[in-house]
Amino acid sequence: MLLPTTVVGSYSVPEWLERLKTEYYQRRISAQHLAEIHEVAIKAAIKDQELAGIDIVSDGELRRDNDVDYFLARIPGVHIPQRAKTDYFDYYDAEVTRPLPELADSPETSLGLAADFSFTRRLTQRPVKFSFTGPFSLSRRIRDGAYGQPGDLVRALARRLNAEARELAEAGADFLQIDEPFLAGYPEQVELAVEAVNMVIDGVAATWALHVCYGNRYARPSWEGHYDFLFPAVKAARVDQIVLEFARKGLDDLRLIRQHGWDRWLGLGVINVKTPEVEPAELIASRIRRALEYVPAEHLMINPDCGLRHLSPEVARQKLRAMVVGVTTVRAELTGGDKP
Amino acid sequence: MDVNLRPVKKLRESAAVRSALGPLIEAVCASPADLARLRVVCDWIQYKQNFREPVVGRPVGGTDLEIAVDLRRCADLDLEAGIKHALEDPGGLALEPWVPGRDSCIWRFNALYWQALSEWERATGREYEQSLPGGESDARNTEAAQELILELFRIWDELDARRALPDELYILELGVGNGNQARTWLDEFVQLDRRHGRDYYRRLRYLMGDYSPHVLERARQAVAHHGERVSALVVEATRPSITLGFLAGKAFLVYISNVYDNLPTDEVACIHGRIYQVQTRAFLADDDADLIAGRFGIDRARLVPLIDRLLRIGPELLSESAPAQFPDPGRAVDFWRAVWDALRLQERYLPLEGLDSYQVTAELTGEILRPLIEADGDVRMHVSNGALSSLTGTLPLLHPFGRVQCHDLFLTGSHQYRTGFYGPGKYDGSVVNWVNGPLLQLVASRRGFGVQFTPFRQRPGSNITTLTAQARD
């Protein structure tokens, strides 16, 4: 299929779910009840994506409080002194006081991502993308009191995530994405991040994507700048696809794809997730047409700029629908088929 | 019967306050009120100009009653008569139906003050800054300006080193006063930039935003020597994005001084665990209405429509449209001031059936109040709707490394509502309310901003507090 559509990962977190998640931290509902609520919300998120016409769906990352804590709370050796939160979306304060135990020392401690994937896999016939936060970004939320070199913490996290990726592949995950939402804030460390990405990927047979954006915490960019910093370092990443934001920032950075000879897939961000305004399908189509000047259609996947978590459910549905209509228009132009 | 004594500091300080309490309870007990359904709330209202009589009655949800007493004015008061009066229909000339606080016509008076400031100043013979506590705005301070500018230089140097510094460096001031803040800031900027040697002044864009064209024009004159570095925009402070949408993600500093205390607000109260909205109704006491009607040769029945017309068209046009009563604009301002002086607010508590059904701002429901109400139990507090709307509209304007700095009358802890009175009061022709700082802090936090309150260091002893909001994480 030309121009397959997908999401970056997270899906709209309704206000009621935010409140319930916070109530869990205030001991008003049990972990078991919250888990059941999450499962219901994930089913709804998948259904929403299917109804919108998304080709490759995700679980919406609805179990995760934010892009970091779900992982840090489960990684052996990461110490979180205070697990109570005022608001579910707050980050934990996490620290390591001694080197993380290597896998050989704690082989039974899975992070549970494979189980999350399997749950999703059972709910849909469509291909599933499964995303998780990469070692570089995770390391930025850990106070490092154990490693002499900051890169060593990143590598230790990468080894742990590699084990998780292997479990995911064994469970049938064939499209995996590493998210590095903090990388744009530390452009001088892109080589380290790429090295760690390769450690995560190592030996895992799957299609791999790498998502780098300028942050989406509270629907705001955490940094500004250009994707120049990614190149040429990112070419050393053994990923099949990079997933970048263009809708909010404009399409100027597409020049980097040609300039640096990126000949793999591009996940093209065509939906601005930081505004509730729904882009017209024609605008989305025009963004895709512009990208086709730089990337062959056979290497273009279409997605929002980033996760949809900060949009209301109705806006998220409308945006995805507009994206699908925009893609269908361009597909028809490319293949001579019917326009929507 | 509950008796709620809020001004605890005054209770310790003032024998007169303490000695008023006995007679007050005596008077309440001598009244025909159902004491089982009565609460008595005592405040110390520091504003000499305010919207209350010393003793007033407030229905609570249709069954109970609150008697509110201003202890500052109790010394020579016939409390028994006051209580009796509070239990009766107060009568008077209502200027509006019962409405939430933010919809009261007092805010139309407030808006008129800023729109027709020059006429008001001409009539009173003094500029508005003189009516501020201390006689001048807290904004005019070189030391504070230097601190901010040097911090900006540090951030800009870092961004520049990463090739992430935008070409245009935006600074926004909301509520510009007479332009002294802008002039001080820009003059200091020029000096410091020269020393710093990076020529940031060339890239600087200083935007002055204010509700009042008159105020803007005056401020613009104060900074005329900075030429094209400065732009002036009419901005509705509660909806800054309407005018300033182009600035989203670009402002390195948003400076706001003495604006939030002057924006419309509701109040909510938790009484015996139930949540109420405080509704208000502006009115003139019968005596005052008769006095004003007589003084200006107006039939009492025409007072309400005439006041409405004043609020719609201002004193100048009112004078033109009713020359018999107002032969010149000054006379119309006299009428305005007389009404404003006499203006009072009745209050009642209306149950809120669900917090989510109460729209605090266009974006926020009353659910945002829940953590504060649940944490503080029985409390009456400002919702600071206007300030919330302004802040939530301002935060998206910030560059990721930008900050909001705001000097105003902030409560810094909800507990303060138990121990003091924080408005509304009158400052000259405007309304003043302290701002619910913890609520602003909570809302900013839900948007990823850390909010800090610090005393306004440049003027020790001032009631002004500095709020600083910056992205966290």
pLDDT, tens digit (0-9, with 9 covering 90-100), for B365-418: 999 998 898 887 889 999 999 999 999 999 999 999 999 999 999 999 988 999
**Which CA distances in Å does A252 have to A213, A258, A285, B93?**
15, 12, 16, 64
| Closest-CA residue to B322 (of B337, B338, B339, B305) | B305
* Residue found by looking up tokens 């670009």 in the block: B250
**Rounded Cα–Cα distance for residues B417 and B360 (Å):** 19
Say if residues B361 and B394 touch (Cβ distance below 8 Å): no
Phi and psi, residue A124, nearest 5°: -145, 150
CB of A277 within 8 Å of a chain B CB? The answer is no
* Residue found by looking up tokens 């936090």 in the block: B445
In percent, the amount of chain A with pLDDT more than 70 equals 99
Confidence tier at B138 by pLDDT (50, 70, 90) = low
Contact A225/B162, CB-based, under 8 Å?
yes
Q: How high is the pLDDT of residue B177? A: 84
How many beta carbons lie within 10 A of that of residue A71, not counting itself?
Answer: 24
Quick check: B135 pLDDT over 70? no
DSSP B401-418: EEEEEEEE-EE-SGGGGG
Among A272-281, B5-14, B124-133, top mean pLDDT goes to A272-281
CB of A217 within 8 Å of a chain B CB? The answer is yes
Q: Which residues pair with B251 in a beta bridge?
A: B170, B398
Q: Which residues pair with B68 in a beta bridge?
A: B41, B56
Confidence tier at B139 by pLDDT (50, 70, 90) = low
- Residues of chain B with Cβ-Cβ distance to A220 below 8 Å are 249, 396, 400, 447-448, 471
Among positive and negative, which fits the CA dihedral B321, B325, B328, B331? negative
First to last CA, chain A: 16
- Residues of chain B with Cβ-Cβ distance to A222 below 8 Å are 400, 471, 473
pLDDT tens digits, one per residue of A247-262: 999 999 999 999 999 9
Quick check: A19 pLDDT over 80? yes
Q: Which of A73-82, A272-281, A324-333, B4-13 has the lowest mean pLDDT?
A: B4-13
Confidence tier at A339 by pLDDT (50, 70, 90) = confident
Confidence tier at B213 by pLDDT (50, 70, 90) = confident
Say if residues A291 and A268 touch (Cβ distance below 8 Å): yes
pLDDT tens digits, one per residue of B412-447: 998 899 999 999 999 899 999 999 999 999 999 999
Q: Higher pLDDT residue, B381 or B460?
A: B381
Q: How high is the pLDDT of residue B133? A: 52
**Rounded Cα–Cα distance for residues B244 and B235 (Å):** 8
ipTM, interface predicted TM-score of the complex: 0.78
Quick check: B187 pLDDT over 70? yes
How many beta carbons lie within 10 A of that of residue A70, not counting itself?
Answer: 18
How many beta carbons lie within 10 A of that of residue A114, not counting itself?
Answer: 20
- Interface residue of B155, B156, B160, B162 to substitute, partner A, most A CBs within 10 Å: B162
- Residues of chain B with Cβ-Cβ distance to A91 below 8 Å are 473
Quick check: A144 pLDDT over 90? yes
Q: How high is the pLDDT of residue A86? A: 87
Say if residues B150 and B192 touch (Cβ distance below 8 Å): yes
Confidence tier at A322 by pLDDT (50, 70, 90) = very high
In percent, the amount of chain B with pLDDT more than 90 equals 74
DSSP class of residue A97? S
Q: How high is the pLDDT of residue A243? A: 98
Q: How high is the pLDDT of residue A242? A: 98
Residue A214, exposed/middle/buried by CB under 10 A (0-12, 13-18, 19+)?
A: buried
pLDDT tens digits, one per residue of B55-96: 999 999 989 999 999 999 988 888 888 999 888 888 899 999
Contacts of B117 (CB under 8 A, 6+ apart): B128, B212, B214, B215
Q: How high is the pLDDT of residue B129? A: 67
* Residue found by looking up tokens 């999450």 in the block: A38
Residue of chain A whose alpha carbon sits nearest to that of B365: A15
**Rounded Cα–Cα distance for residues A84 and A235 (Å):** 41
Q: How high is the pLDDT of residue B128? A: 67
Q: What are B336's two structure tokens? A: 């305005």
Q: How many CA atoms lie within 13 A of A70 on its CB side?
A: 18
Q: What are A29's two structure tokens? A: 């509902």
Q: What is the pTM of this model?
A: 0.87
Angle (deg, nearest 10), helices A190-201 and A150-170: 30
**Rounded Cα–Cα distance for residues B242 and A133 (Å):** 36
Q: How high is the pLDDT of residue A46? A: 98
Confidence tier at A125 by pLDDT (50, 70, 90) = very high
Say if residues B22 and B60 touch (Cβ distance below 8 Å): no
Angle (deg, nearest 10), helices A113-123 and A31-52: 50
Collapsed DSSP state (helix, strand, coil) of residue A180: coil
pLDDT tens digits, one per residue of A286-306: 999 999 999 999 999 999 999
Say if residues A131 and A211 touch (Cβ distance below 8 Å): yes
- Residues of chain A with Cβ-Cβ distance to B166 below 8 Å are 224
Contact B473/A91, CB-based, under 8 Å?
yes
Q: How high is the pLDDT of residue B115? A: 87
CB of A187 within 8 Å of a chain B CB? The answer is yes
Average pLDDT along chain B: 92
Confidence tier at B136 by pLDDT (50, 70, 90) = low
**Rounded Cα–Cα distance for residues A60 and B65 (Å):** 51
Contact A217/B399, CB-based, under 8 Å?
no
In percent, the amount of chain B with pLDDT more than 70 equals 97
Mean pLDDT on A179-204: 96
pLDDT tens digits, one per residue of B150-186: 999 999 999 998 888 999 999 999 999 889 899 999 9
